[in-house]
Chain A
Amino acid sequence: MALAGLYKKLEAPFPLSEVLLAGATDEQLNAIAAESGTGLSQEEMKALVGYFGKVGRNPTDVELQSLGQAWSEHCCYKSSKQILREFVFGIDNPQVIDRGDAGVMEFDAENAYSLRIESHNHPSAVEPYGGAATGIGGIVRDVLCMGCQPVALIDPLFFGRLDTPPEKIQKGAKHPTYLFDGVVSGIRDYGNRIGVPTLSGSVVFDDSYTGNCLVNVGCVGIARKEHLYKNRVGGVGDNLVLVGGRTGRDGIHGVTFASAVLTEDSETESRGAVQLGDPITKEPVIHAVLEVARRGLITGMKDLGGGGLSCVCGELAYAAGFGAEVHLDKVPLKEEGLLPWEIWVSESQERMMLAVTDANLEEVLHVFKFNDVEANVVGRVIPEQSARVFFKGVKVLDMELKFLTGGPEYCRPREVRAPAQRVAEAPAKRKLDHNRALLGLLASENICSRDWVIRQYDHEVRGCTVLKPLQGVIGHSSHGDASVLKPVEESWKGLAVATAVNPWVTAIDPYRGGKGVIDEMCRNLVAVGAMPHAFSNCLNFGNPERPERLGEFHEAVRGLGEAAAALGIPTPSGNVSFYNESETGSVMPTVVILGTGIVPDVRNAITSDLKKAGNFMFIVGRTGPEMGGSAYYRLTGASSPLVPDTDLPCLKRSIDAMLAAMSEGLVRSCHDISDGGLAVAIAEMCIGGQLGAEMDLEALGEISSEAALFSESNTRWLVEVEQTKAEPFEQALGGLAIRIGEVGGKELSICSGEEILVSQPIEALEEAWKNTLWNRMGGAE
Chain B
Amino acid sequence: MKPGEVKVCVLRIEGTNCETESFQAFERLGAKPEMVHLKQLLGQDVRDSERRNLMDYHILMIPGGFSSGDYVRAGAIFAARMKSKLAAPLAEYIREGRAVLGVCNGFQVLVEMGFLPGLEGVMSQTPDAVLTTNDSSRFECRPTLLKYENNYNCIFTHKIKSGQVLLIPSAHAEGKLLFPQDRADAIHKQLEDNDQIVFRYVSPDGDYAGYPWNPNGSPRNIAGICNPSGNVMGMMPHPERVFHRFTHPDWTRGFSSELGDGRVIFESVLESVTKRF
Chain A positions near chain B (C-beta within 8 angstroms): 188, 192-195, 279-280, 283-284, 366, 369-372, 454-468, 470-475, 477, 486, 489, 602-603, 605-607, 609, 611, 669, 689, 779, 781
Also in contact, A193 and B15, with CB within 8 A (given A474-B167, A609-B253):
yes
The answer, among B20, B138, B204, for a CB contact under 8 Å with A463, is B20
CB<8 Å pairs between A and B, sample of 6: A279-B69, A370-B37, A370-B46, A472-B253, A473-B253, A689-B253
The answer, among B20, B138, B141, B204, for a CB contact under 8 Å with A458, is B141
A contact residues around B15 at 8 Å (CB): 193, 279-280, 283
A contact residues around B140 at 8 Å (CB): 455-456
Within 8 A of A (CB), among B235-254: 238, 240-241, 243, 246-247, 249-250, 252-254
Q: How far is the CA of A609 from the CA of B249 in the complex (A)?
A: 12
B contact residues around A279 at 8 Å (CB): 15, 66, 69
Which residue among B143, B252, B254 has the maximum number of chain A CB atoms within 10 Å of its CB? B252
CB pair B247–A472 under 8 Å, yes or no, is no
A contact residues around B70 at 8 Å (CB): 193
A contact residues around B73 at 8 Å (CB): none
B65 within 8 A of A: yes
CB pair B250–A463 under 8 Å, yes or no, is no
Q: Mark B2-39, 1 if CB is under 8 A from A, else 0.
A: 00000000000011011011001000000000000101
Which residue among B18, B64, B142, B167 has the maximum number of chain A CB atoms within 10 Å of its CB? B142
Chain B positions near chain A (C-beta within 8 angstroms): 14-15, 17-18, 20-21, 24, 37, 39, 45-47, 50, 64-66, 68-71, 136, 138-143, 145, 167, 169, 171, 204, 211-213, 238, 240-241, 243, 246-247, 249-250, 252-254
- Closest A residue, CB atoms, query B211: A781
CB pair B136–A779 under 8 Å, yes or no, is yes
B contact residues around A606 at 8 Å (CB): 252
CB distance from B49 to the nearest CB of A (A): 11
Which residue among A465, A467, A474, A609 has the maximum number of chain B CB atoms within 10 Å of its CB? A474
CB pair A283–B171 under 8 Å, yes or no, is no
The answer, among A284, A462, A465, A468, for a CB contact under 8 Å with B14, is A284
CB pair A603–B18 under 8 Å, yes or no, is no
The 4 closest A-B pairs by CB, nearest first: A195-B17, A463-B21, A280-B69, A193-B66
Q: How far is the CA of A249 from the CA of B238 in the complex (A)?
A: 40
CB pair A370–B14 under 8 Å, yes or no, is no
Q: How far is the CA of A351 from the CA of B243 in the complex (A)?
A: 35
Also in contact, A458 and B45, with CB within 8 A (given A464-B21, A474-B167):
no
Q: How far is the CA of A462 from the CA of B16 in the complex (A)?
A: 11
Q: How far is the CA of A781 from the CA of B213 in the complex (A)?
A: 13
CB pair B171–A474 under 8 Å, yes or no, is no
Which residue among B15, B145, B211, B254 has the maximum number of chain A CB atoms within 10 Å of its CB? B15
- Closest A residue, CB atoms, query B71: A280
CB pair A489–B24 under 8 Å, yes or no, is yes
Which residue among B70, B169, B250 has the maximum number of chain A CB atoms within 10 Å of its CB? B250
CB pair A463–B14 under 8 Å, yes or no, is no
CB distance from A666 to the nearest CB of B (A): 15
CB pair A460–B17 under 8 Å, yes or no, is no
Q: How far is the CA of A602 from the CA of B246 in the complex (A)?
A: 8
- Closest A residue, CB atoms, query B169: A460
B contact residues around A779 at 8 Å (CB): 136, 138
- Closest B residue, CB atoms, query A373: B14
CB pair B171–A193 under 8 Å, yes or no, is no
CB distance from A59 to the nearest CB of B (A): 42
CB pair A472–B17 under 8 Å, yes or no, is no
Q: How far is the CA of A456 from the CA of B250 in the complex (A)?
A: 19
Also in contact, A466 and B141, with CB within 8 A (given A193-B66, A280-B14, A460-B238):
no
- Closest A residue, CB atoms, query B47: A366
Q: How far is the CA of A147 from the CA of B250 in the complex (A)?
A: 33
Q: How far is the CA of A466 from the CA of B248 in the complex (A)?
A: 7
CB pair A371–B14 under 8 Å, yes or no, is yes
B contact residues around A192 at 8 Å (CB): 66, 139, 171
Also in contact, A461 and B17, with CB within 8 A (given A456-B139, A466-B247, A602-B246):
yes
CB pair A474–B252 under 8 Å, yes or no, is no
CB distance from A707 to the nearest CB of B (A): 31
CB distance from B154 to the nearest CB of A (A): 22
The answer, among A193, A457, A472, A605, for a CB contact under 8 Å with B250, is A472
- Closest B residue, CB atoms, query A366: B47
Q: How far is the CA of A121 from the CA of B66 in the complex (A)?
A: 27
The answer, among A462, A611, A689, for a CB contact under 8 Å with B21, is A462
Q: How far is the CA of A465 from the CA of B139 in the complex (A)?
A: 18
Which residue among B138, B143, B243, B246 has the maximum number of chain A CB atoms within 10 Å of its CB? B246
Q: How far is the CA of A461 from the CA of B20 in the complex (A)?
A: 10
CB distance from B239 to the nearest CB of A (A): 10
CB pair B141–A459 under 8 Å, yes or no, is yes
- Closest B residue, CB atoms, query A456: B139
Also in contact, A194 and B46, with CB within 8 A (given A460-B171, A464-B247, A477-B249):
no
CB distance from A430 to the nearest CB of B (A): 35
B contact residues around A603 at 8 Å (CB): 246
B contact residues around A456 at 8 Å (CB): 138-141
CB distance from A384 to the nearest CB of B (A): 38
CB distance from A74 to the nearest CB of B (A): 30
A contact residues around B50 at 8 Å (CB): 370
A contact residues around B250 at 8 Å (CB): 472-474, 477
- Closest B residue, CB atoms, query A370: B45
CB distance from A695 to the nearest CB of B (A): 21
Q: How far is the CA of A89 from the CA of B167 in the complex (A)?
A: 46
The answer, among A366, A463, A470, A477, for a CB contact under 8 Å with B247, is A463
A contact residues around B69 at 8 Å (CB): 193, 279-280
Q: How far is the CA of A558 from the CA of B37 in the complex (A)?
A: 51
- Closest A residue, CB atoms, query B24: A489
CB pair A460–B247 under 8 Å, yes or no, is yes
- Closest B residue, CB atoms, query A149: B20
A contact residues around B241 at 8 Å (CB): 460-461, 463
B contact residues around A471 at 8 Å (CB): 249, 252
Also in contact, A461 and B246, with CB within 8 A (given A193-B66, A475-B204, A607-B252):
no
CB pair B141–A457 under 8 Å, yes or no, is yes
A contact residues around B21 at 8 Å (CB): 461-464
- Closest A residue, CB atoms, query B25: A463
Q: How far is the CA of A462 from the CA of B240 in the complex (A)?
A: 9
CB pair B249–A474 under 8 Å, yes or no, is yes
List 8 extra interface pairs beyond A370-B46, A464-B247, CB under 8 A. Answer: A188-B139, A370-B39, A455-B138, A455-B140, A461-B18, A463-B24, A463-B241, A466-B246
A contact residues around B141 at 8 Å (CB): 454-460
CB pair B17–A194 under 8 Å, yes or no, is yes
A contact residues around B47 at 8 Å (CB): 366
A contact residues around B39 at 8 Å (CB): 370, 372
CB distance from A334 to the nearest CB of B (A): 18
Which residue among B15, B20, B141, B212 has the maximum number of chain A CB atoms within 10 Å of its CB? B141
- Closest B residue, CB atoms, query A457: B141
The answer, among B64, B145, B247, for a CB contact under 8 Å with A465, is B247
CB distance from B215 to the nearest CB of A (A): 9
Q: How far is the CA of A64 from the CA of B40 in the complex (A)?
A: 47
Q: How far is the CA of A371 from the CA of B69 in the complex (A)?
A: 15
B contact residues around A489 at 8 Å (CB): 24
A contact residues around B18 at 8 Å (CB): 195, 461-463
CB distance from B185 to the nearest CB of A (A): 28
- Closest B residue, CB atoms, query A603: B246
CB distance from A176 to the nearest CB of B (A): 19
CB pair A463–B243 under 8 Å, yes or no, is yes
Q: How far is the CA of A656 from the CA of B191 in the complex (A)?
A: 59
Which residue among A284, A370, A463 has the maximum number of chain B CB atoms within 10 Å of its CB? A463
Q: How far is the CA of A663 from the CA of B46 in the complex (A)?
A: 51
Q: How far is the CA of A370 from the CA of B20 in the complex (A)?
A: 19
Also in contact, A486 and B24, with CB within 8 A (given A280-B69, A463-B18):
no
CB distance from A731 to the nearest CB of B (A): 24
Q: How far is the CA of A486 from the CA of B249 in the complex (A)?
A: 14
